[in-house]
Amino acid sequence: MLSRLKIRTQLMLGFVFLMVLTVVLAVFGIIRVHQVESLLGTINDVNAAKQRQAINFRGSVHDRAISVRDIVLSSNASQVDRHVQDIQTLTQAYARAATALDAVFRADPGLTSREREILATIQRIESRTVPMINQVIELRRSGRNAEAATLLEQQLSPAFVEWLAAINQMIDSLESVNQSLGEKVRGITANFMAVKALLTGLIILLGLAAAWFITRSLLQQLGGELSYAAQITRKIADGDLSIDIRTQPGDTTSLIATMKTMRDSLSDIVQQVNYGTHAIETASSQIADGNKDLAGRTEAQADSLQATSVTMAQLTDTVKRNADNASLANTLALTASDVAVKGGQAVEKVVHTMGGINDSSRKISEIIGVIDGIAFQTNILALNAAVEAARAGEHGKGFAVVASEVRTLAQRSASAAKEIKGLISDSVDKVDEGGQQVADAGRTMQEIVDSVRRVTDIMTEIAQASHEQTNGIEQINRVIAQMDASTQQNAELVEESAAAAAAMHDQAVTLSHTVARFKLQGNAYGAGHLIDIGGSGYGTARVPLAAASSAPRLEHS
């Protein structure tokens, strides 16, 4: 299973395994050290403090017993006072020790019921003994020495002995607990040393096993030493493909076995490349010759197309000029048609105008007739007026003069009207004759317009035909120009192909020399088994016998 993993993964797993074992050992040691530290803390910080205060208890009680005895044995009051002062000092020291001991007891989570019972006994004895001490002092100060001595001997001394015994019992109990904890610490230490030695040995064994498995897996993956693999790589890099690569029996997946397979595949590839290279040399020479011949024919075809293109360009210019002339004639015909149409329209307007003049002349003749009638009526009225004036005699002379003048004017109007009527009649006749002539001119102009339109239509058809001929010839010219450009490009491509064939030939020769640096196994055609063939101006090419016999030949048309 390890052989399927990467080398980096295998090494990481090995080191991680050793690190896990080391961490396990370190965690176990930390736990044990923490236990030892806890027990030593209990011994040094808790039980030692209890012992120290208990010892202070014992010193205070012992010294107070001596001071009480000295009070009973003192011979004067000053000695008694001094011993009383000592007892008070010792009592205060006992009180401080008791306060400290109470604080330690309250802070101790592992306080046992035995310790509580001993402390309660000490406190009970203290409460019973301290009043007796005060009583002895009072008896001595009052001069009752015998009663004080009796109280000291019979009650106080046994109380001090019991008090000290209870304090010693606490000290012994704490000492026993400390010894038990010390034994436990020694047991934990001994156990830790044994387990540490066992785990250390296990880590060493497991580390050696992991190293053996990883080394075995790496050797299986490599198939041998790295120096041997490096030697094979250097030989292959130098082009020596004939190197003998030794592998383990049945090994087909290791690095060295894969390098052997790579050597064999590379040898086959180099051999095939060698054959292909020399075949390319032969084919490239033939391709270059064919390209030269094709380039010559292509250039001749390009020259012919270029001459044809020039001729077609000249023909295009001629047809284009004809089309331009036809277009110009069409334009002039259209202009003449427009002028004729405008002339016909003008004649038609003149006809209408002459008709209007004729109508106006008739109306004027009618108006003159009316004027003539008015003159006639006026003349009659003037005659009537003259008759009436003659009848009036002298009174009608003035009216007769006026009537005479009116008659004269009426006569003159009648004569002028007659003259005008004659002139108008003559004008009407001439206008009728002119209208007839104008109508004849309008019909003639219409015939001219129709003829010009037919000519214009014919010129338009001629112009369209010339334009279509021009477009067709231009298309032919463009096609010939495209053929010319394509032929020129083909010629350039043929030249480039010839140059590329020459370059390919040179590259094939270079590649052949490059492949020749590889040294192959056996008697197969390798880089050294070459024959010389003549190139087409490209130098001498060397190809294998098989390649020379099987190389394709290019047929030139």
- DSSP states of 111-144 as a string? --HHHHHHHHHHHHHHHHHHHHHHHHHHHHHTT-
pLDDT (0 to 100) of residue 526:
45
Q: What are the domain boundaries of the chain?
A: 2-207, 258-543
Token digits for 299? 């250039």
Nearest to 45 by CA among 97, 93, 103: 103
555 φ, ψ (degrees, to nearest 5): -90, 130
Q: Which residues of 123-136 are buried (b: 16+ CB within 10 A; e: fewer)?
A: eebbeebbebbebb
Q: Which residues of 22-61 are buried (b: 16+ CB within 10 A; e: fewer)?
A: eeebeeeeeebeebbeebeebbeebbebbbbbbbbbbebb
pLDDT (0 to 100) of residue 542:
41
The domain defined by 258-543 folds into Helix Hairpins (1.10.287)
Amino acid in position 255 = L
Strands annotated E in 164-273: none
**What is the model's pTM?**
0.35
Q: Which residues of 446-470 are buried (b: 16+ CB within 10 A; e: fewer)?
A: bebbeebbebbeebbebbeebbebb
Give 540's Cβ-side CA count (13 Å radius).
5
- Whether residue 221 contacts residue 196, with contact meaning beta carbons closer than 8 Å, is answered with no
Nearest to 532 by CA among 287, 236, 281: 281
CATH for 2-207 is 1.20.120.30
- DSSP states of 75-94 as a string? SSHHHHHHHHHHHHHHHHHH
pLDDT (0 to 100) of residue 158:
92
Residue with tokens 């090419």: 541
- The mean pLDDT values, 10 residues at a time, for the chain of 557 residues are 64 76 79 71 66 80 87 82 88 86 75 80 88 88 86 88 88 79 81 83 83 72 71 78 74 73 77 75 74 73 73 73 73 72 72 72 72 77 76 73 76 77 75 73 74 73 73 74 75 75 77 69 47 40 39 39
